[in-house]
Amino acid sequence: MTGHIVYVERKPSWFKDISHRLNEDSAWLDRLIARFVLYRHYGIMVENSEIIQFYCPSILKLNQGSIRQVPLSDFLKAGGIIEIDQAVNLAFTRDEVVRRAKMFVGSDFGGYHMTKNNCEHFAVWCGTDQRKMSQKASVTTYRNIYSASGTLKRKIISTLV
C-alpha cells in the first residue's frame, strides 16, 4: 500500500468514550467534533506501515498544524479501518507520491485551515499536485459543529423549562 492516499473515517462517538481521540491540546470544541461530526482523516501510506499526515492537535490551535510521519496506530486513533481513496487519479508514481509527502514532514504545508488546507488537501496534493477536497463542507466545517451545539443547547433548555 506504499504510496497510496489513505483515510480513516471518523464517526461520531455520541456518548461513547472519546479519550482515544483527544490529546493534551484538545479543547471543548474538539470534544464536540469527536462526539457529533462525521469526517475522513487522510494521509499517505509509507514504508513500515507508517502514515504521513497533516495533523492539527486542536481546532482552536490551527497554527500548530504540521506534517508528521506516524505509526498506523496513531493515524487510526484506536478505531476505524484504513481505506484507500480510489477516487483520486494519481499523476505520479507511488514512489513519487511518497517522496512528495516526505519533503514536507516537519513543515506546516502553508498553514492548517479546516476547509482550505487540511489533511485531504495535503494527501491529494501529494498524488496530483492539486489541493482539493472532496468531502462536503457541511460535513467538515463549523456549520455542522454549530448545528450540533445548537441542538444540544435547545435540548438542555427544553429539559430545564
Residues 141-152: tens digit of each pLDDT: 444 454 544 544
pLDDT at 13 over 50: yes
The CATH number for 67's domain is 3.90.1720.10
Say how far apart CA 8 and CA 43 lie, in whole Å.
9
The neighbour count for residue 7, using CB atoms within 10 Å, is 23
Count of structural domains within the chain: 1
Q: What is the pTM of this model?
A: 0.80
Q: Give the amino acid at 46.
A: V
> Domain of 124?
5-160
**How far from chain centre, in Å, is Cα 5?**
13
Residues 69-93: tens digit of each pLDDT: 999 999 998 678 899 999 999 999 9
Extended beta strands in the chain, E state: 5-10, 39-46, 50-55, 66-71, 82-84
Confidence of residue 34 (pLDDT cuts 50, 70, 90): confident
Residues 94-117: tens digit of each pLDDT: 999 999 999 999 999 999 998 899
The neighbour count for residue 119, using CB atoms within 10 Å, is 22
**Is 150 in a helix, a strand, or coil?**
helix
Taking residues 25-40, what's their average pLDDT? 87
CB 67 within 8 A of CB 42: no
Grid coordinates of 85: 481513496
